[in-house]
């Protein structure tokens, strides 16, 4: 075990040396100094901003060249960065988009080895025909064509041998570099370098698992089984494993080959409408969308249907997000910016405590109004994208990954529509789907389903509560927990209680005074009698004076008590 750790440590050290050499070769000497020099001071303030975001040193092009030279894992990281326009300025996004998987195909011998290991049988026993030359090659895998013994033509996607181990090693280095970047550069902390690597790690290992992609294909097939204009290829599960995906090969025309479509009598504008309707269904009905619909992944079949292939990148939307997006689309379609702002706020993208929502609404309206009434042919997709991202950067809006994928898919879908000469508006095509989604959100079946789900949650909490309370009490008894009870809102109650007690006391005093005065006046014993001239000579005792005084006090207190009760309105 120690020897294995030592070998891994040496490999990591050598890889750090390679990275350092690449950085130095491309003019990143200052970066190397700050990243790897223990005595270097942290770069702060304006210098760090200028260091990464001015047109001088280092340029976006140099960063791209470094990523390309560091190999497939870093190229994939750069491709992820090209989708994070909420983090990086446009000039960097443009460069990251140029990153391509420029890798030679693996030898046919290695392909054979992977297939035979995964399927547990010789290649000739699995396929009646298998093309040794790859149809396409990328850093993660490559595609070959073949034919099954049952006669079906298939596309076989094979993961490169050893790529998972290599990516794991590179991700370990990425984490180390990201932590150093966040410690050395303020901008690294702002961008969240470690979180970016974490997101890359989650995505790349899903892309390496062909069973996940096969499952996505099956889900799309189920979703579109009643839609005649969309065709989803079949998965051959008997030939599919974690590293090998065998699916139906689709013959047809690439989505951007307008001339070939017309030669086959296919109307490109109708194909564009199929694409827009498909995107609307994915977004507003299924909450599961193909997030990479570029021409190579969208095939126009010779009978006029459209087939989606290569499901390596997909996005999910939960019910609440779907509803918010529907409100967003309807708000745009109907010029209702209050609806748009409400949808963005509910999605958690706008926060009143950290941004000026009035200014944001004004900027959003100024940006959006210029696009209304224009067809796809007259709208620059780049212009829309750039303006949206200017708002995102200006107000520091951090977009979730699935919304970024959705925005990217939106742009690619519109771009394909423009290539096909479509005059359709995506907002107009999507509007009926959005209305239907919002209507469904309130139907009885869905409400009952939500009530049932919430009831199950409450039942689960009720079942777990005794155990949790018992655990808390045990921890408290052992001195590991402290219970602190705080009460609030009792101040007014105390004041009201005090008033009630005071009134009760006064009432008792009144009653006692009346009773005492009556007893004194009716007493046969007289104390100190004296004569006064009151309506003639009268003999009055001191006892009678005390009794009379008691009656007067009781009367005054009784009148005050009645008045105070009447004024409180609580008789």
Structure tokens that stand for 264 in this block: 């086959």
∠ CA 296-298-301, nearest 5°, is 115
Q: Is 338 a catalytic residue?
A: no
Measure Cα distances from 364 to 244, 274, 359, 386, 389 in Å.
46, 30, 8, 13, 11
Among 343, 341, 342, 323, residue whose Cα is nearest residue 433: 323
Q: How far is CA 188 from CA 42, 53, 54, 180, in A?
A: 11, 12, 15, 9
314: β partners: 290
Per-residue tokens: 8: 């891994």
Q: How many CB atoms lie within 10 A of CB 325?
A: 21
Residue with tokens 């001088």: 56
CA distance 223 to 232: 10
The DSSP code for 524 is S
Given a contact cutoff of 8 angstroms between Cβ atoms, the answer to whether 188 and 181 are in contact is yes
Determine the Cα–Cα distance for residues 336 and 328; give it in Å rounded to an integer. 9
Residue 227: cis peptide before it, omega within 30 degrees of 0: no
Report how far residue 428's alpha carbon sits from residue 247's, in angstroms, rounded to the nearest whole number: 35
The SS3 assignment for 302 reads coil
Determine the length of the chain.
Answer: 571
Q: Residues 86, 170, 292, 310: which is the catalytic one?
A: 292
Residues 408/81, Cβ–Cβ less than 8 Å: no
Residue 315, φ and ψ in degrees, nearest 5: -130, 150
Q: Which residues are catalytic?
A: 292
């Amino acid at each position: 075990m120690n020897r294995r750790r030592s070998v891994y440590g040496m490999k990591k050290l050598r890889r750090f040396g390679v990275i350092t050499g690449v950085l130095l070769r491309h003019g990143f000497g200052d970066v190397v100094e700050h990243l790897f020099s223990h005595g270097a001071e942290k770069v702060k303030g304006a210098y760090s901003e200028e260091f990464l975001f001015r047109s001088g040193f280092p340029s976006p092009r140099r960063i791209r060249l470094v990523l390309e030279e560091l190999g497939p894992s870093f190229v994939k990281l750069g491709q992820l960065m090209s989708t994070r326009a909420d983090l990086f300025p446009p000039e960097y996004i443009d460069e990251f988009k140029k990153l391509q998987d420029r890798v030679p195909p693996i030898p046919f011998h290695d392909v054979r080895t992977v297939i035979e290991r995964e399927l547990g049988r010789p290649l000739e026993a699995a396929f009646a025909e298998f093309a040794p030359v790859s149809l396409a090659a990328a850093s993660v895998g490559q595609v070959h064509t073949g034919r099954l013994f049952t006669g079906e033509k298939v596309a076989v996607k094979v993961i490169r041998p050893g790529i998972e181990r290599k990516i794991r090693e590179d991700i370990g280095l990425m984490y180390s570099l990201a932590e150093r970047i966040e410690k050395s550069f303020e901008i690294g902390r702002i961008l969240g370098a470690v979180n970016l690597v974490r997101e890359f790690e989650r995505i790349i290992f899903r892309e390496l698992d062909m069973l996940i992609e096969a499952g996505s294909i099956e889900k799309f097939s189920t979703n579109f089984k009643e839609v005649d204009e969309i065709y989803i290829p079949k998965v051959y599960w008997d030939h599919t494993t974690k590293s090998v995906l065998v699916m139906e090969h689709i013959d047809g025309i690439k989505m951007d080959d307008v001339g070939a479509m017309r030669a086959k009598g296919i109307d490109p504008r109708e194909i564009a409408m199929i694409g827009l309707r498909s995107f609307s269904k994915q977004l507003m009905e299924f909450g599961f969308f193909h997030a990479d619909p570029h021409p190579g992944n969208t095939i126009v079949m010779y009978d006029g249907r459209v087939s989606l292939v290569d499901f390596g990148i997909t996005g999910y939307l939960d019910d609440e997000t779907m509803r918010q997006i529907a409100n967003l689309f309807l708000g745009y379609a109907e010029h209702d910016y209050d609806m748009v702002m409400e949808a963005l706020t509910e999605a958690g993208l706008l926060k009143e405590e950290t941004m000026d929502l009035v200014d944001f609404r004004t900027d959003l309206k100024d940006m959006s109004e210029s696009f209304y009434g224009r067809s796809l042919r007259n709208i620059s997709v780049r212009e829309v994208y750039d303006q949206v991202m200017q708002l995102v950067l200006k107000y520091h809006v951090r977009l979730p990954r699935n919304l970024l994928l959705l925005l990217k898919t939106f742009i690619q879908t519109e771009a394909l529509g423009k290539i096909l000469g479509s005059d359709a508006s995506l907002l107009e095509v999507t509007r009926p789907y959005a209305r239907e989604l919002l209507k469904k959100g309130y139907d009885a079946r869905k409400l009952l389903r939500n009530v049932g789900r919430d009831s199950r949650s409450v039942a689960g909490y009720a079942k777990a509560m005794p155990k949790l309370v018992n655990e808390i009490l045990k921890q408290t008894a052992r001195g590991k927990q402290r219970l602190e009870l705080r009460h609030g809102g009792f101040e007014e109650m105390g004041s009201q209680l005090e008033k009630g007690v005071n009134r009760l006391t006064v009432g008792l005093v009144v009653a006692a005074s009346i009773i005492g005065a009556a007893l004194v006046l009716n007493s046969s014993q007289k104390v100190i009698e004296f004569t006064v001239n009151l309506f003639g000579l009268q003999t009055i005792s001191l006892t009678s004076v005390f009794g009379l005084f008691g009656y007067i006090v009781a009367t005054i207190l009784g009148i005050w008590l009645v008045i105070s009760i009447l004024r409180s309105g609580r008789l």
